[in-house]
Amino acid sequence: MSIAPLIFQAAGAAAPGAAAQPSFLIQILPFIGIFAVMYFFMIRPQQKKQKEHQAMINAVVKGDTIITTGGLIGKVTRVEDTEVVMDAGEGVKLRVLRGMIADVRGKNTPQPANDTSKS
C-alpha cells in the first residue's frame, strides 16, 4: 500500500471546504487583553502604593511617631541612613530599619481622647 493516495486525499479534503486558520494576532489577542487588565488592576496600583510608602519612609524626621511592621509604636529620636532610633517609652530605645516602618504619624497628629495612660 502506498502512502501517496492518503496524502493527496488529506490535501484535497482540506483545501476546498475547510475553514481558514485564524491568524496569529487573533490567537494571541486574548492573552494581550488579560495582561493589560492585570497591569491596570494589579501591577500599576501596587507600584504606586510602593512609591508612596517609600516617600513616607524617606520623609521621617526626629520627633515623628512611627509604627513598625511588628506593631511597635514609638517616637523617633535619631535618623540615620538605613536605620532610625525610636523611643518606645520608659527609656527603651530601639534601632529599627527604615524598611520595617509601616506607618508614620506626624508630630501634629491628634491623640485619641480615650487615652487611659496613668501619669
Cα end-to-end distance, the chain, whole Å: 104
Residues 74 and 97 in one domain: yes
Residues 67 and 99 in one domain: yes
Query: Would you state the pLDDT for residue 21?
Result: 78
Count: domains in the chain: 2
Query: Would you state the pLDDT for residue 22?
Result: 80
98: containing domain: 60-105
Residue type, 99: G
Per-residue pLDDT of the chain (119 residues; tens, 9 = 90+): 566 666 666 555 555 555 667 888 888 999 999 999 999 999 999 999 999 999 999 999 999 999 999 999 999 999 999 999 999 989 899 999 999 999 998 765 555 656 565 54
Query: Would you state the pLDDT for residue 113?
Result: 59
Q: How far apart, in whole angstroms, are the C-alpha atoms of residue 64 and residue 96?
A: 14
Residues 50 and 69 in one domain: no
- Residue 92 in any domain: the answer is yes
Query: Would you state the pLDDT for residue 9?
Result: 64
Residues 46 and 78 in one domain: no
Residues 53 and 83 in one domain: no
- Residue 44 in any domain: the answer is yes
Residue type, 95: R
State the cell numbers at 70.
Answer: 511588628
Residues 46 and 30 in one domain: yes
Q: Three-state secondary structure along the chain?
A: CCCHHHHHHHHHHHHHHCCCCCCHHHHHHHHHHHHHHHHHHHHHHHHHHHHHHHHHHHCCCCCCEEEECCCCEEEEEEECCCEEEEEEECCEEEEEEHHHEEEEECCCCCCCCCCCCCC
Residues 53 and 64 in one domain: no
Residues 64 and 54 in one domain: no
